[in-house]
Structure 1
Amino acid sequence: MSQNKFNILFIINPISGGKKKSDLPALIDQFLDKEKYAPIYAFTEYIGHASELAEEAEKKNYDMIVAVGGDGTINEVASKLVHSDKTLAIIPFGSGNGLARFLNIPLNAKKAISLINTGKPQLIDTAELNGRKFFNMAGMGFDAHLSSVFAGNKKRGLKSYVELGFKEITTYKAQPYHIEIDGKEYDNSAFAISIANSSQYGNNVYISPKSSLTDGYLDVCIIHPISLVKLPILAFQMITGKTHQSSLVKIIRGKHIKIKRNAADAVHLDGEPLKLGEELEIKIIPASLKILTNP
């Protein structure tokens, strides 16, 4: 590795977003400032590989580690860089790209690569659910159920996700939750609960328009039980960034959240589903991840 340049590792998920990336090193070679950076490339081969590569890279002489993929790939890499002196950068290649959109990182690969040359590092908050880190959004209820079902679906992409959503939503029932936020207790029946560190799921669909990655708080977004006829209203509010004014959604800010539900069930962390138990504990870790942003 060069002693005169910043060493930068690109961790590339070759299948994220269903987009080909075999030509990406050539594109990086064209648009990255080679006088400033010495690039190395690593392609992931299985789920969890990005995490392994990031953990190994964190111990080595890299100045910056770039996650190339969607929110799941970013989560794997970022989770190993919390409290690190390494800077995380993002080239978004997911289907939703929620965190990248919030940070105003270009979705165009050439522009995202060019941003690495001029971007500014910023410390952002990390969130943790039962010891597992997330950076954009976590959730339970319908969105976690849908993420879990979609993970087993052969068809990928936004169109397939929406089609599956319309199918699942007709049979999904709201669940009871006991929620404690910074010591204050709430009992709610909810269609879904999202824990927002940033404002949106992805694709500019906003659940918590006022959320910030740097305020030291999480926003607990409780979507009330909802009839099918009101779903278009909620969808419109999400697309227009008005859910904080909605009677269909209650948003409560907090730093330490405990949630109890009737049974073990699906949750998602940055869109990636897993099954966890009845009791969930969520914490915020302020100013804990150094990430390259669009100045």
Structure 2
Amino acid sequence: MKTKKLLFIINPGSGHGTQNFAETIAAFFNDREEQAEVYQLPKTCVMKELKAIIKNAKANRVIAVGGDGTLKLVAECLLGNDTPIGIIPAGSANGMAKELGIPLEVNEALTLATTGRPKQIHAILINNQLCIHLADIGFNAYLVKKFDELPARGMLTYAKALWHALWNHRKMDVEFSIGEKTIRQQAAMVAIANATRYGTGLQINPDGKLDDELFEVILVKEYAVMEILKIWISKLPFNPKKIESFQTTKLHINTKHRVHFQVDGEYLGKISSLKAKIIPRAIHVVVPTSQAR
């Protein structure tokens, strides 16, 4: 069945905010048979209102125009629903778009959102927050915080935030259990991974699959950037003295002190306890045919 109507949820504050996506979408569908409806997110988004807009639109597909946070917002509205979610990457990192092989060029992404195939994936519920991509505590969450505080965007800003985080972040004491094994460890960070890599391209979770009904817990014991780069380039296993990976369907982490916490690129403050569980078959996302199997 051909896609007849698409509802585009546009986050005007995503990325650099230099492109008028409403105009771009209108121009793209000007000579096509599909109907495109556009909704621009207000600065303060009320979930109940957004759910009503999506329901009333009766669209065959709902397309998130923004970064991972915008995708997360749309996914929260369509959790457990069969309506496919498309992605037009317009954020700073666009981690999930890269994970799914979605083009970063807007007209190519629009074509895919219209003609691509739905793929059912799982998600993770972490401290009552929906996680589609990656969450973590510790170093990277602190990096996200510092990045958000800087006025500009782009890789130069990311490099500045990274430099600050490397100099100022300290290790944390964590405790969690996987099956019958209890881990007590000083760590730079712990990632709760649905996907395989961050939006920067850095692979943190080479074993990750979006549809295997498991998620990975990546325990980074040291500030092991070179170790992760080695995995990324050579595909060799992690050095267990520096990084360990576990698979599970649920998780409870306690920390000695409050630590930085982020979900899908959104900094959520400091926590001392984290609970996570898998949400099987959570959403359908529109992907290239090669990714839909």
Q: Same fold (TM over 0.5)?
A: yes
Partner of 1:129: 126
Residues 1:12 and 2:10 aligned together: yes
What's the CA shift for 1:253? Answer: 0.8
What pairs with 1:1-295 in structure 2 (closer than 5 Å)? 6-22=4-20, 24-32=21-29, 35-46=32-43, 48=45, 51=47, 54-60=50-56, 61-226=58-223, 231=225, 233-234=226-227, 236-237=229-230, 239-240=232-233, 242=235, 244-247=237-240, 248-295=242-289
Describe the SS at the equivalent of 1:259.
strand
Describe the shift of the 1:241–1:72 C-alpha distance in structure 2 as closer, same or farther (beyond 3 A): farther
Q: Is the 8 A contact 2:176 2:183 kept in 1?
A: yes
Measure, in 2, the Cα distance between the counterparts of 1:143 and 1:45: 28
Measure, in 1, the Cα distance between the counterparts of 2:230 and 2:40: 38
Measure, in 2, the Cα distance between the counterparts of 1:241 and 1:134: 28
* Identity rate, percent: 26
Q: Please, which runs of 5 or more residues in structure 1 have no aligned partner?
A: none
What's the CA shift for 1:236? Answer: 2.5
Measure, in 1, the Cα distance between the counterparts of 2:190 and 2:19: 34
Describe the SS at the equivalent of 2:15.
helix
Measure, in 2, the Cα distance between the counterparts of 1:44 and 1:262: 39
Q: Is the 8 A contact 2:84 2:284 kept in 1?
A: yes
Q: Is the 8 A contact 1:208 1:244 kept in 2?
A: no
Q: Is the 8 A contact 2:202 2:229 kept in 1?
A: no
Q: Please, which runs of 5 or more residues in structure 2 have no aligned partner?
A: none
Q: Is the 8 A contact 2:123 2:132 kept in 1?
A: yes
What's the CA shift for 1:47? Answer: 5.1
What's the CA shift for 1:211? Answer: 0.5
Describe the shift of the 1:5–1:36 C-alpha distance in structure 2 as closer, same or farther (beyond 3 A): farther
Q: How many residues are matched?
A: 286
Describe the SS at the equivalent of 1:114.
helix
Describe the shift of the 1:265–1:52 C-alpha distance in structure 2 as closer, same or farther (beyond 3 A): farther
Q: Is the 8 A contact 1:32 1:114 kept in 2?
A: no
With normalisation by structure 2, the TM-score equals 0.89
What's the CA shift for 1:243? Answer: 7.1
Q: Is the 8 A contact 1:54 1:65 kept in 2?
A: no
What's the CA shift for 1:153? Answer: 2.1
